[in-house]
Amino acid sequence: MSFEIRSKDLLGRIGLLHTKTGTVETPLLLPVVNPNHQLIPAKELRSSFGFDAVITNSYLVWRRYREDPSPPKIHDLLNFDGVIATDSGAYQILRYGDVEVQANDIIHFQEQLESDIAVILDIPTDQAASKSRAKWTVDETLRRADEALRVIKRKDILWVGPVQGGVYPDLVAASAKEMAKRSFPIHALGSPTTVMQQYQYDVLVDMIMAAKLNLPPDRPLHLFGAGHPMMFALAIALGCDIFDSASYAIFARNGRYLTAHGTAKIADLEYFPCNCQSCHGHKPAEVKRMLLLERERFLAAHNLHMCLSELQTVKQALVEGRLWELVESRSHNHPSLQRAFRNMLKYREAIERETPVRKTKGPFIISHNSLSRPEILRHQKRLIVNYTPPAKVKTVILFPERYLEPFREDSERDPILEKIGNRSHVHLCTYGLAYGIIPEELLDVYPLSQSEHSLAPEANIIHSAVDRIVEFLEKANYKSCLIVTEEKWQEKLAKATQRRLSKKMKVKIIEREKLNSSAIMQIAKPKARKRMR
């Protein structure tokens, strides 16, 4: 196996990718190194920045050494002793329409270079392509993949089988299904560059998920051209494992300064919002006075530090089980990310299936969008499918959220619970905005009592809670329900629940201070039958 998974959260994972040169950790960012012009020497990318892998363009190397029967090894050419991936020239096809090299020739050339990871010469799908043209790129890429597998000799190289289809999710899904049948140890989503350049991250979500849901989970997914730190959290949460980008250099050339929140022009900065090795001890005014090449190198170095820092932030959130919180937080950095995050929610069922059941920390629930997170979906699903209420109990009492806590199981500690007396004839649950309804006996089960939420009792959030409460009560088949309230929003929730269940069970609402044994018996006592005269 070339890939092993160490940690998971949402669809994201931390893994180890084994190559013939060494093992690297994913999520992995591959800085693009131009073989003909290195703004920052590849050797420094490892020694000064900590990048253990880079990517370069084998087609550009081929153009330089095409007449040489023994071209230099790629590690010697770049002076880099880490893992090196080589692209095949497909980006040049996307940009210029064609390349001079044949598909099989670039495969043999990458084998001569002794690349660690190599890409076949696929046909990328242009964003503006018609659907018929897009389908042709899918079919032609699959044909080339089959031909590549016949001519590949080096089995110690990790070959990448690209997925095409562009902005047509059905074509991307079909491409992924077919490419999954081929024995490529790595897959890549091709042609997302234009979509990302135009900040169409919501479209990118559909492209990624169409590929991810149809590829084998034991193979890493490479997102070509994704190098802006503002979208790392989103892409990793959707299951992307490898990224590559020349953005650190391209943005530097244009006088732009990367942050996790977006891109700033160095001309507009008066202060550096960063304390990386490049920015520490410098002020923007100094950088503005630098010579052009010196300023470009400064910005490129900062951009690299920023990319690596954000990648580490995402990894830490992943191992802590807080990747959802990070994605939701980052989605507020730009309207395009907010649209993408909302689009991600339609894949919540697939995300829930891949999210670990237990984590080291409880979830934070901070908005209506948080109600789609895996922990809440899983609780409701298991409550409906797996949970059985206590036998022979026909009355349920719903207390406001967090009124019942695991440490309150001894009713003598609470006068309200003490008033209930013999609790064998009633079932106690708590209700709230986050999880809807929680039976008393499950209160200390992860993540219910470990969660924190700041949900405001807005109409849509109350409506979502009512949906979940009603679904549970209907399934549990109680005969009567007593809803205890303390605040105005709880009254609204209780009345909405009462209306929804009016034809199915007896529902009564009572303020907490009025709760007593008489009120409970009134709701729990069955109607007396009239005697026959």
Catalytic residues: 87
**Own/partner long-range contacts of 39-47 (Cβ < 8 Å, ≥24 apart):** 39/249, 39/252, 39/296, 39/297, 39/300, 40/249, 40/297, 40/300, 40/301, 40/304, 41/79, 42/78, 42/79, 42/80, 43/79, 43/80, 45/80, 45/304, 46/80, 46/81, 46/82
Q: Which is nearest to 170 in space by CA: 115, 226, 114, 209? A: 209
- Which residues, listed in sequence order, are joined to residue 439 by a DSSP beta bridge? 429
Q: Which is nearest to 471 in space by CA: 395, 354, 384? A: 384
With 0-12 / 13-18 / 19 or more C-beta atoms within 10 angstroms meaning exposed / middle / buried, residue 230 is buried
Helix, strand, coil percent content, the chain, rounded in steps of 5 = 45, 20, 35
Gap between the Cα atoms of 223 and 231, Å rounded: 12
If one counts every other C-beta atom within 10 angstroms of the C-beta of residue 52, the result is 17
CB 158 within 8 A of CB 26: no
Q: What element of type H or E holds 524?
A: helix 517-524
Gap between the Cα atoms of 189 and 210, Å rounded: 10
Beta-sheet strands, E only, within 284-405: 364-365, 395-400
Gap between the Cα atoms of 383 and 475, Å rounded: 9
Sign of the CA dihedral with 523 first, then 525, 527, and 531 last: negative
Gap between the Cα atoms of 297 and 45, Å rounded: 12
Q: Which is nearest to 383 in space by CA: 458, 463, 467, 453? A: 467
Give φ, ψ of 114 to 5 degrees: 65, 45
Q: 58 to each of 19, 64, 91, 155, 461, how far by Cα in Å?
A: 18, 10, 11, 18, 53
Q: Which residues contact 522 (CB under 8 A, 6 or more apart)?
A: 508
Q: Which is nearest to 103 in space by CA: 122, 84, 116? A: 122
CB 217 within 8 A of CB 2: no
Sign of the CA dihedral with 277 first, then 278, 279, and 282 last: positive
C-alpha R_g of the chain? 29
